[in-house]
Each structure stands twice: as C-alpha cells, then as structure tokens.
Amino acid sequence: MKDKIAFITGAAKGIGRATAVALSTSGCQVILTDIDQNALDQTKNEIENAGGKATTYLLDVSSQEQVNAVHQKALKEHQHIDYFVNNAGIGGVLTPIHLMTAENWNNVINVDLNSIFYCLHAQINILLPQGGGNIVNVASLAGKKGVMAGSHYSAAKHGVIGITKSAAIEYGAHNIRVNAICPSFLETDIIQAVPQQILDFVKQHRVPLKRHGKAEEAGETIKWLLSDQSSFVNGHALVMDGGMNAG
C-alpha cells in the first residue's frame, strides 16, 4: 500500500483512528477528517511521530456542502486519492419507536446514512476519472438485525449495506470496489450509551470469543478490504462479531 492515499471520515477516534494508524503503518498517506479538531490533531501527531504522513480537515459528514468542499480540497492538495473509508457515525438516543422524536430519528439518519450517500457521490466522481479505487463503508451488525431501542440506527445501517451493494454493482466495471464491515460491539466511545448489563450479557452469553472487539481489529479488517489482497471481494458486508451469529 506504499504511496497510496486514504481518506477517512470520523478519523479522530475509535475505528476511524485505528484504521488510519493501520493504513499509515502499511505505507499509506492518510487524510483524517472529523468534527473534533483536538482529537484529529492528536491522531495526526501520533501517526507523524511514528513516521507516517497525515493531513487533517474538519468535516461534518451530515452536510453535503461540507462533504463536497472537503473532498475537492483534499483532491486538489493530494492530486489523487486511492482509498475511502466512510466511518463517521453516531448511536443516537436509545429509545423505543413510540417514544422516539423525529429529531432523534432524523439526526441518526442524517449522520449515519445520508452521509454515506453524500460521501459516495463525491468519491465516485473522483474515482471514475482516476480509473478506479476502493471504498469501505462502516455499517454494523445492526445493519443485519433489529436493535432494541435503536430502530433509527438499525434502519440507517441496513441502508448503508443497501447502498454499498448498489454501488458495487454500479461501479465494478469501472474498477471501483465497494464493501462494508458489520461489527458487533467494539470497545470505543460509542458503546458508552449502551447499558453495562447488556454489554456484559452479550459478552458472556452471546459472543463465542467471550469478549467485545477492538477498534484495531476493525482497522485491520478495513485495511484488508482496501488492499489488493481482497481484489475479488466486492459488494460484501463483512460480519465481524466474534462468532455471535454463527449458530
């Protein structure tokens, strides 16, 4: 992956940060985008202290205007971009449907689903004239199953898998691969909203590996999907759940 350039959303923390570190370790130059400038700076410093190369841009993925502007700026400053990781996301306020406000619903759909359309729209328009490239969308196991008190999140992530498969069909002939990952619980900030007894129950009774995943494990999986090692994998929504859904 030497000399490849990777653009990552939600890159300041969690899975995005771990993906940036994994890609940088493999020789990629990384473009880090997020709404949290302080955390972005920390991740950039960490990568550069380890000998990598990183650029940061503030980007709220729920704004198509910002998505277009930052992609154009990044392209102008880097000449080409090979890989895109659409990772930024939120869990939203957990609540059953009959108590959910439209504001809560729309917020999650905007950040977790509409953003994927905005990003893919901008990215495909960069990759088509370049002659190809690879994209990974971060969906969730919630994109394959319903979620108690998380209908907005589940609906958004089902949508992410749908647009991933559609994009793979539309652009495979243009040498553009589009895949998704579907993790179960990973130890990042986002699961702080989930009650501890649910996290403990799932770990003890549902996950055969008896633990939750780590952001670094998602980063390595994303790196593999972007790399030529997965060159015939396209339109796939790869479950990483410690075997939870194997039985």
Which residues are annotated as catalytic? 153
Q: With binding defined as CB under 6 A, does residue 114 bind ligand NAI?
A: no
Q: How far is the CB of 239 from ligand NAI (least distance, A)?
A: 10
Question: In this chain, which of 15, 20, 28, 180 binds ligand NAI, going by CB under 6 A?
Answer: 15
* First-to-final CA distance of the chain: 36
Question: Binders of ligand NAI among 208-247, rule CB under 6 A?
Answer: 215
Comparing CB distances to ligand NAI, the nearer of 36 and 216 is 36
CB-nearer residue toward ligand NAI: 63 or 130: 63
Q: In what order do the strands lie in the sheet with 5-9?
A: 53-58, 29-34, 5-9, 83-86, 133-138, 176-183, 237-240
| Contacts for 39 with CB less than 8 Å, ≥ 6 apart | 12, 13, 17
Distance separating alpha carbons of residues 204 and 241, to the nearest angstrom: 13
> Per rule CB under 6 A, is residue 35 in the interface with ligand NAI?
yes
Judged by CB, which is closer to ligand NAI: 175, or 189? Answer: 189
Q: Give the Cα separation of 111 and 69 in Å (integer).
A: 17
User: Is residue 108 within the footprint of ligand NAI (CB under 6 A)?
Assistant: no
* CB-side neighbour CA atoms (13 Å) of 187: 8
Q: Which of 22, 30, 85, 88 binds ligand NAI (CB under 6 A)?
A: 88
Residues 151, 104 contacting (CB under 8 angstroms): no
CB of 71 to ligand NAI, least distance (A): 13
Quick check: 9 binds ligand NAI (CB under 6 A)? yes
Q: Which of 29, 140, 221, 230 binds ligand NAI (CB under 6 A)?
A: 140
Q: How far is the CB of 33 from ligand NAI (least distance, A)?
A: 7
179 part of the interface to ligand NAI, by CB under 6 A: no
**Three-class SS of residue 160?**
helix
Longest dimension (CA), the chain: 51
**What single letter denotes the amino acid at residue 168?**
A
> Which residues of the chain form contacts with ligand NAI (CB under 6 A)?
9-10, 12-16, 34-36, 39, 59-62, 87-90, 111, 138, 140, 183, 185-186, 188-191, 215
